[in-house]
Amino acid sequence: MAGGRCLATTPRKLGPFLATMFVTGNIVGSGLFLLPATLGALGGISVLSWLLATLGALLIAGVYARLGVLAPWSGGPFAYAHVLLGRLAGFQTNYVYWLSGWIGNVAIALAVTGYLGEFLPLLHAQPASTVCTLLVIWSMVLLNVAGPRAVGGLETLALALGLGPVLAIGVVGWWWFDGHLFMASWNVSGQSVAHAVPASLILVFWAFLGLETAAVAADVVENPRRNLPLAALAGVAIAAVIYAACCTVLMGIVPAPQLAASSAPFALVAARLFGTWAGLLVSLGAILKTTGSLSGWVLVVAATAKAAAEAGSFPRVFAHVDARGIPVRNLLLHGALMTLAVLATLSPTLGQQFNRLVDVTAVFSMVIYACSAVALLRMSALTAAGTGAHRLRDRLLAMLALAFSLWVILASDTPLLLIAVAIMATSLPLYAFYARRSTQTQGDPPAGPGAVVLSPPHPP
């Protein structure tokens, strides 16, 4: 998000390379640090999950690239759902995005705790790990209360110093990769390939969350009709290579069951290859990067709720600001919500708790992606721009992305799916209540074949 703010004030537009780096930077984040442990419970077979997830991510990125070209609106997924699918769809999209934001923040905080455990081993066990996670969450909440400049400073430091040591292990570790060890841990779950791979997709796709930012870049990219699809697809591909290479190499150095039991997999491998000092250095880098990501996402989630409250779609308390313009009550309420999420998902290990939160967040995100795919179908039916071949291509892309999103959702565990549906169902009574209070200018989808959408509303 910090990258988006910088781009908005840059007078020169982005060429294909910088646009690609923008998309890549919005995808690669804290998902890298605990996923090797998560996928260690499956073994090397997770490589197949990475391949399928990459194909799906490319399809979804293609949807946002096309939407960004056809309708470069502010608001991203919410704007597309609101204008093309109706007010209820727009409200639900914003609501689900907000939920996935603060629930996902708890998963990021757990990653911080996992790597802090390399310095303080007592954090690997309860109740110390829970206490530490709560301290991490509330530290970032209070940092945001201090103001956005403090958050920006931490994010800059985290980006500069945090990611390097972890990526270095993912690169140099291939010198010690043992193919026999990798194959010995090919499928440690005992499940069939047909079951293990689809079931793990929801976990793997956590790494790709953020690919929707491709649609936001349309107004700052040179020649967007050519460069935006290139940046979206190349950004996803680069992120996929980074994730898959880093997660796979670790399984050829350390047996998958040991990775699955670790709360700091990159530090574990670094210590094994180079000694304790390397493990601590990697842990420090991971702590910096995940903490920086968490501080930024706390800000984003608070801003999302504030904008929705100002439009009358969320409780007014989220819109209240102090004399400095900081939504303090908003931030404190989100801290309380994240605290409840930590306590509600307590598990024997950090990895198991991380998995629960990642699963819910990823399901919510797949729902948003499915809605955007439907929006592209609607757009292709309404717009007069382009040839019949272009419209056919857009429809095929949208249908494939929609099918993949629904497949990932349905392949998730049934209890998880029921929880997600129950949580999303709470949006219906909330919509009925807040729709009456909405002060936002509403826009209707264009009517009739061949109509062109020119000016959408400005959603929160």
- For residue range 348-365, list pLDDT tens digits in order: 666 677 777 777 888 888
455 found inside a domain? no
Q: Rounded to an integer, what distance in angstroms lies between the CA atom of residue 88 and that of residue 451?
A: 22
pLDDT at 192: 80
pLDDT at 215: 66
Largest CA distance in the chain: 67
Q: Which whole number is the average pLDDT over 310-328?
A: 80
Confidence of residue 336 (pLDDT cuts 50, 70, 90): very high
User: 127-131, 268-272, 371-375, 429-433: which has the minimum mean pLDDT?
Assistant: 429-433
Q: Rounded to an integer, what distance in angstroms lies between the CA atom of residue 129 and that of residue 53?
A: 31
Confidence of residue 80 (pLDDT cuts 50, 70, 90): confident
Using the predicted structure, report yes or no on whether residue 451 has a pLDDT greater than 60: no
CATH number at residue 46: 1.20.1740.10
CA angle 290–129–346, rounded 5-degree value:
100
pLDDT at 454: 34
pLDDT at 397: 94
Place of tokens 């993912």: 170
359 found inside a domain? yes
pLDDT at 388: 64
Q: Rounded to an integer, what distance in angstroms lies between the CA atom of residue 100 and that of residue 368?
A: 10
Q: Rounded to an integer, what distance in angstroms lies between the CA atom of residue 355 and that of residue 31?
A: 11
> Closest Cα partner for 327 from 312, 309, 340?
309
Using the predicted structure, report yes or no on whether residue 158 has a pLDDT greater than 70: no
Asked if the bond preceding 16 is cis, omega within 30° of 0, the reply is no
Q: Which whole number is the average pLDDT over 204-230?
A: 74
Alpha helices (runs of H) in 71-219, residue ranges in sequence order: 77-85, 87-116, 128-146, 148-161, 163-172, 179-184, 193-204
Q: Rounded to an integer, what distance in angstroms lies between the CA atom of residue 242 and that of residue 380?
A: 34
Confidence of residue 122 (pLDDT cuts 50, 70, 90): confident
> pTM here?
0.78
458 found inside a domain? no
Q: In this structure, what token pair is assigned to residue 138?
A: 């509330």
CA-to-CA dists, residue 362 to 58, 95, 179, 210, 409, angstroms: 16, 15, 31, 11, 9
Using the predicted structure, report yes or no on whether residue 286 has a pLDDT greater than 90: no
Using the predicted structure, report yes or no on whether residue 400 has a pLDDT greater than 90: yes
322 found inside a domain? yes
Q: Which whole number is the average pLDDT over 212-235?
A: 74
208 found inside a domain? yes
Q: Which whole number is the average pLDDT over 98-103?
A: 85
H/E element, 328: helix 328-344
Confidence of residue 213 (pLDDT cuts 50, 70, 90): low
Q: In this structure, what token pair is assigned to residue 240?
A: 């996929």
Higher pLDDT, 388 or 278: 278
Q: What is the mean pLDDT of the chain?
A: 78
Cα end-to-end distance, the chain, whole Å: 15
Q: How far is CA 59 from the centre of its chain?
A: 16
Q: Rounded to an integer, what distance in angstroms lies between the CA atom of residue 52 and that of residue 32?
A: 18
Using the predicted structure, report yes or no on whether residue 10 has a pLDDT greater than 50: no
pLDDT at 132: 92
460 found inside a domain? no
Using the predicted structure, report yes or no on whether residue 402 has a pLDDT greater than 90: yes
Q: In this structure, what token pair is assigned to residue 457?
A: 């509303």
Residues of the domain holding 292: 13-433
User: What percent of the chain clears pLDDT 90, i.e. is strictly above it?
Assistant: 12
Cβ within 8 Å of residue 364, ≥6 positions away: 96, 97, 99, 100, 103, 420, 424
- For residue range 103-114, list pLDDT tens digits in order: 888 888 888 888
Q: Which whole number is the average pLDDT over 189-200?
A: 79
Amino acid at 226: R
249 found inside a domain? yes
Q: In this structure, what token pair is assigned to residue 21?
A: 């780096």
DSSP 352-382: HHHHHHHHHHHHHHHHHHHHHHHHHHHHHHH
Domains in the chain, number: 1
User: 47-56, 215-224, 328-337: which has the minimum mean pLDDT?
Assistant: 215-224
Using the predicted structure, report yes or no on whether residue 459 has a pLDDT greater than 70: no
DSSP label at 211? Answer: G
Q: Which whole number is the average pLDDT over 432-442?
A: 58
Higher pLDDT, 14 or 413: 413
pLDDT at 437: 59
Q: Which whole number is the average pLDDT over 96-125?
A: 84
Q: What size, in residues, is the chain?
A: 460
Cβ within 8 Å of residue 4, ≥6 positions away: 213, 216
pLDDT at 446: 39
4 found inside a domain? no
pLDDT at 453: 39
